[in-house]
Chain A
Amino acid sequence: MEEYFASGHTACAGCGMPITVRHALNVLGKDVIVVNATSCLEIVSSAYPRSAWGVPYIHSLFENSGAIAAGAVASLRAQGNEHTKVVVFAGDGSTYDIGFGVLSGMLERNDDVLYICYDNEAYMNTGNQRSGSTPFGAATTTSPAGKVRHGKMQWKKPIAEIIAAHQIPYVATASIGYMADFENKVRKAKDMKGARFILALAPCVTGWNYDSAKTIEIAKLAVDTGLWMLYEIEDGKFKVSYKPQQFKPVADYLKMQARFKHLSEEQIKTIQEHMNKAWAEVKQ
Chain B
Amino acid sequence: MKKTVEVSIAIAEAVKNCEPDVVACYPITPSTHIAETLAKFYADGELKSFIATESEFASISAICGASAAGGRAFSATSSQGLALMHEVVYAAAGMRLPIVMVVGNRALSAPLNIWCDQQDSVAERDSGWIQLYCESAQEGVDTAIQAFKIAESTMLPVMVCVDGFYLTHTVEQVEVPTVEEVRKFLPKFQPKVKLDPENPISMGEYATPEYYQGFREDVHRDQLAAKSRIVEVDKEFEQMFGRSHGGLAQGYRIEDADYVFAGMGSVIGNAKEVVDELRAKGKKVGVLKIRSLRPFPGEEVRKLLEGKKHVAIFEKSYSLGSFAPVYADVINSLYPLRKRPFVSSFIGGLGGKDVPTKTVHEVFKMIKKREPLEIWI
Contacts and interface: CB of A to CB of B under 8 A. Distances in A.
Interface of A: 30-33, 35, 42-43, 46-49, 51, 53-61, 63-64, 66-79, 84, 101-102, 104-105, 108-109
B202 interface: yes
A58 B203 contact: yes
Given A48-B206, A68-B65, A71-B66, A57 B197 contact: no
Contacts of A109: 51-52
B54 A101 contact: yes
B69 interface: yes
A61 B87 contact: yes
B68 interface: yes
Chain B interface mostly: mixed
B244 interface: no
Given A32-B197, A109-B51, A59 B205 contact: yes
Contacts of B52: 109
B236 interface: no
Counting contact residues on chain B (CB < 8 A from A), the size range is 35 or more
A33 B22 contact: no
B15 interface: no
A105 B53 contact: yes
A272 B67 CA distance: 49
B62 A74 contact: yes
A58 B200 CA distance: 10
Closest 4 CB pairs of A and B: A71-B65, A71-B62, A105-B54, A75-B71
A60 B204 contact: yes
B205 A78 contact: no
B208 A101 contact: no
Interface in B47-82: 48-49, 51-55, 57-59, 61-71, 73
Contacts of A77: 49
Contacts of A32: 197
A102 B65 CA distance: 13
B195 A69 contact: no
Interface of B: 21-22, 24, 48-49, 51-55, 57-59, 61-71, 73, 87-88, 91, 95, 195-197, 200-208, 211
Contact of A46 (B71, B200, B206): B206
B195 A33 contact: yes
Interface centre among A30, A42, A56 (most CB of B within 10 A): A56
Contact of B51 (A47, A54, A74, A76): A74
Nearest to B203: A58
Contacts of B200: 30, 53-57
Contacts of A72: 65-66, 68-69, 195
Nearest to B65: A71
Interface centre among B71, B73, B87 (most CB of A within 10 A): B71
Nearest to B23: A74
Contacts of A108: 54
Contacts of B24: 67, 70-71, 74
24 contacts: A30-B200, A33-B197, A35-B65, A58-B203, A59-B202, A60-B64, A63-B57, A67-B57, A67-B65, A68-B64, A69-B65, A70-B58, A73-B65, A73-B69, A75-B21, A75-B22, A75-B73, A76-B69, A76-B71, A77-B49, A84-B197, A101-B55, A102-B57, A105-B58
A264 B14 CA distance: 67
B54 A70 contact: no
B48 A68 contact: no
Contact of A67 (B48, B62, B68): B62
A75 B205 CA distance: 21
B206 A70 contact: no
A99 to B, nearest CB: 10
Given A71-B24, A71-B51, A75-B22, A51 B205 contact: yes
Given A46-B206, A57-B202, A79-B71, A74 B21 contact: yes
A38 to B, nearest CB: 8
Given A72-B66, A72-B68, A78-B21, A59 B211 contact: no
A109 B52 CA distance: 8
A55 B22 contact: no
A84 B69 CA distance: 11
Given A33-B195, A64-B88, A105-B53, A48 B69 contact: no
A58 B206 contact: no
B58 A58 contact: no
A75 B201 CA distance: 17
Contacts of A69: 65
Contacts of B201: 56-57
Given A67-B53, A108-B54, A46 B91 contact: no
Contacts of A48: 205-208, 211
Given A47-B207, A68-B68, 4 more contacts: A33-B195, A59-B203, A70-B62, A101-B58
B333 to A, nearest CB: 34
A56 B71 contact: no
Contacts of A68: 61-62, 64-65, 68
A204 to B, nearest CB: 20
B202 A71 contact: no
A171 B302 CA distance: 62
A48 B207 CA distance: 5
Contacts of B67: 71, 75
Given A57-B200, A60-B61, A105-B55, A75 B70 contact: yes
Nearest to A104: B54
Given A53-B200, A72-B69, A66 B58 contact: yes
Contact of B204 (A55, A59, A105): A59
Nearest to A45: B202
A32 B195 CA distance: 9
Given A46-B205, A68-B61, A71-B63, A78 B49 contact: yes
Contacts of B195: 33, 56-58, 72
